[in-house]
Amino acid sequence: MGYLLSETLETFLRRQIEVSDPLLQALETEAADKHIAIINREVGQLLSLLMQLKTPRRVLEIGTAIGYSTLWMAGYTKWWGGKIITIERHPERHRRAVQVFKEAGVDHLVQPLLGDASEIIPELTGSFDFIFVDAAKGQYLNWYPYLKQLLAPGGVLVTDNVLYRGLVLPNSQFPRRKKTMVARLRQYLKEIQQPPFTSVILPLGDGVAVSFLQEESQ
Ligand SMILES: C[S@@+](CC[C@H](N)C(=O)[O-])C[C@H]1O[C@@H](n2cnc3c(N)ncnc32)[C@H](O)[C@@H]1O
């Protein structure tokens, strides 16, 4: 359970979301068994809702893990043929995600890339209508200029774990070794809450920011 909402409320919200896909269910169990952090169902539902509202043709995901969040998105992008590029630096997780995409029948739509996003992102070309960031929090600020560049005007950027267990809140107490990470996340939050972005931070999971890149004329 998270720390942002009361347990009662979080349980209630989670019970509203039915996951009927057996593969998604199996990945939830697998992630729990292997201690792999994945989005919770509320964030999955948010992604699927945004997919349906935005119908993105090109999606970028940073942080594939074993493909759980990718599947939440691909389950919808397959309706209109939207393509997803997803990046993971952990070879075993990447290999598992490749299998998962085959098993789900979305391997023609999902391009899983193995490597460090810090090296891959600067090499990406073309623009994306939707970007989901769920990887090393300490890197978000470094990636920000590239993400802004890669996102098409009118595009949506979703960033997970932006509240960092509440450590980004003013006057929060944290060990010295976390100081840089907290400062960088706070700065990232500042960046996405000013033009050309309009953002909202939702208290789901560890905090999810949904940002809209304004069209130039706005
Ligand atoms: C929270 S998990 C992603 C979970 C996945 N989005 C899901 O919900 O199913 C974060 C993943 O990002 C990967 N990661 C962290 N930093 C990365 C980087 N610099 N480049 C590529 N992958 C990275 C980690 O190996 C980890 O598997």
Name the percent of the chain lying above pLDDT 90.
Answer: 85
Mean pLDDT of the chain: 95
Residue (of 60, 62, 72, 61) closest to 27 by Cα position: 72
Q: What is the pLDDT of residues 92-109, one digit of tens each?
A: 999 999 999 999 999 999
Residue 216 has pLDDT above 90, yes or no: no
CB 38 within 8 A of CB 28: yes
The preferred substitution site among 59, 88, 116, 206 for testing ligand 1, maximizing ligand atoms within 8 Å of CB, is: 88
Atom of ligand 1 nearest to the CA of 38: 8
**Mean pLDDT calculated for residue range 202-212:** 95
Residue 71 C-alpha to ligand 1 middle, in angstroms? 15
pLDDT of residue 16: 86
Residue 63 has pLDDT above 80, yes or no: yes
CB 182 within 8 A of CB 130: no
pLDDT of residue 174: 87
Residue 73 has pLDDT above 60, yes or no: yes
Residue 4: pLDDT band by 50, 70, 90 thresholds?
A: confident
Residue 205: pLDDT band by 50, 70, 90 thresholds?
A: confident
**Mean pLDDT calculated for residue range 118-147:** 97
pTM for this model (two decimals): 0.95
Atom of ligand 1 nearest to the CA of 61: 6
pLDDT of residue 217: 55
Residue 39 has pLDDT above 90, yes or no: yes
pLDDT of residue 11: 86
Q: What is the pLDDT of residues 136-186, one digit of tens each?
A: 999 999 999 999 999 999 999 999 999 999 899 998 998 899 999 999 999
Is the C-beta atom of 137 inside 6 A of ligand 1? Answer: no
Atom of ligand 1 nearest to the CA of 90: 25
What letter represents residue 111's amino acid? Q
Domains, the chain, ranges and CATH?
A: 7-213 (3.40.50.150)
Residue 5: pLDDT band by 50, 70, 90 thresholds?
A: confident
Residue 215: pLDDT band by 50, 70, 90 thresholds?
A: confident
